[in-house]
Amino acid sequence: MSNDEATIVENSEHACHDEAAAAGLELLLPRDVPLGGPRAMPVQRVLPNKHRHFIGAWCFADAFGPTSLAGRPGMDVPPHPHTGLQTWSWLVDGAIEHRDSAGFSHTVRPGGLNIMTSGRGISHSEYSTAGTEVLHGVQLWTVLPSGERGRDPWFDGLDEVPTVELAPGVTASVFVGEHAGASSQVGAYTPLLGVELRMLRGSEARIELRAGFEHGVLALTSGLAVDDVPVGRGAMAYAAPGREAVIVSAAHDAVAILIGGEPFAEEVVMFWNFIGADHVEVAAARDQWMRERDSGADARPRFGTVVDDVNPPLAAPRLPTAQLLPRGRAKRRGA
């Protein structure tokens, strides 16, 4: 990209942020990152963002697709570890098979949900199924509060969640929390909201927001606007606590994810797939994963062995030379 082209992009981004700010919103723009091993699939990562690390306890959001898998590997993520969090996998199209070291396996499809609670440590793998032609969805993470990060790992796989019609042409599927009279029974460890919004071309809905929560609307397709602010595919409109409602509209058939939660008060260190209280805790988890990875399937007391997966586990990236510092829900200005 030339300097002139970079200036045009930067000016365009400033204009987008200014338009959102005028509407009382914050526009979070994604960045493209590879997901998985040697045959990595590109995803759009919008959380953590430059100045916004969490929305409630939601600390991570990757949107992917819609991607045709003709001649492509799709999602191909061999065994890898997690600590201190929950992972939430939601699909618009396709199917992904989950397997983990707690002995669970489940294939998630549109309308269903995979929720893995890592607690003190777990390993898992994720592969798009052989019959998947198009892959489209989102993976979200939530931070476990400090009192829950040492719990035993667990997994829940749902084939359907409650749905409700919000307005003509607008349907909400509630996968965690309560919205518009629909309530999910999924277990969470902090007050959370997670909803898929499906919208027909030309539809509009007033989305009521919960008092005391902060919220984000993540666009999984193009043509979406929040309070008349365009939100591009993979981007998110953020509403601070105190906002009563937003108007979401669709110029085309659209899908969005509404997330929310009470502002998460704790600071944590996040490195790769590990969440801990400080650098020492995360470094210890990383070192133990590497020891267990190289020790063989019969000597993995913390992270275990993924059931029925013969692929070699992923290596953890090297820790940076500088000490990792805890971070909270928003980046300190000037940090």
CB under 8 Å to 154, separation ≥6 — which residues?
102, 116, 117, 119
Q: What is the pLDDT of residues 48-93, one digit of tens each?
A: 998 799 999 999 999 999 999 887 778 999 999 999 999 999 999 9
3-state secondary structure of 280: helix
Listed residue (107, 95, 136, 162) closest to 219, CA to CA: 136
183-209 mean pLDDT: 96
pTM: 0.92
Instruction: Assign 3-state DSSP to the chain and report helix, strand, coil percentages, each to 5.
Output: 10, 45, 45
| C-alpha span between 84 and 75 (Å, rounded) | 23
Q: What is the pLDDT of residues 200-241, one digit of tens each?
A: 999 999 999 999 999 999 999 999 999 999 999 999 999 999
Whether the CA torsion 88, 273, 142, 150 is positive or negative: it is positive
Answer whether 77's CB lies under 8 Å from 35's CB: yes
